[in-house]
Amino acid sequence: MPTDETDCFTIALELLAAVESAGIDHRRLIIDPVVAPLMWENGIAHNIALLSILRNLSELMGFAVRTIAGVSNLATGPGPTEKKRLAERTFVPMLAAAGLDMALLNVCHTETVITARASGELLREGIFSWGMLETLSRPL
């Protein structure tokens, strides 16, 4: 796994080159910058860098790159369950605001899923209505 932003961008450009050399349309490319577990020695620093990567990746690549991230990676390892869920719920809007397109979530963590859905609604263009959030808060 890359250790810093420069390494991540280098790998992303290598992936793009491989996709293009294989004759695949670059719009099919989906990049996962990999969410690091908080318990890793550099987990917090890695995830802060990940937010910057998400904000800058499309500019670097020259097109709107689709991105995905496994949010549940954040809470991998030992720790109190409720605090792990809080970390996931908190990180989801940060990822959304940085430009993440898709998130892998544990659908059994209802509050995290609701937060992810609400984040998407609040960041989309268009007319807002409170009714949008009302439907999001219903159980899955």
d(CA 66, CA 87): 24
| Structural element, H or E, at residue 68 | strand 66-70
Boundaries of domain holding 71:
5-136
Q: Which of 114, 138, 118 is nearest to 128 (CA)?
A: 118
- Residue 123 has a pLDDT of 86
Q: In what order do the strands lie in the sheet with 66-70?
A: 30-31, 66-70, 102-104
DSSP 8-state code for residue 66: E
Instruction: Tell whether pTM > 0.85.
Output: yes
| pLDDT at residue 140 is higher than 70 | no
The CA-atom distances, in angstroms, between 27 and each of 7, 11, 19, 44 are: 22, 17, 10, 30
CATH assignment at residue 77: 3.20.20.20
Count of domains in the chain? 1
Average pLDDT over residues 83-106: 95
Extract the tokens encoding 24.
């695949």
| pLDDT at residue 132 is higher than 70 | yes
Tell me the average pLDDT of the chain.
Answer: 90
Placement of tokens 């990940």 in the chain: 50
- Residue 29 has a pLDDT of 94
Q: Which of 30, 80, 33 is nearest to 55 (CA)?
A: 33
- Residue 126 has a pLDDT of 80
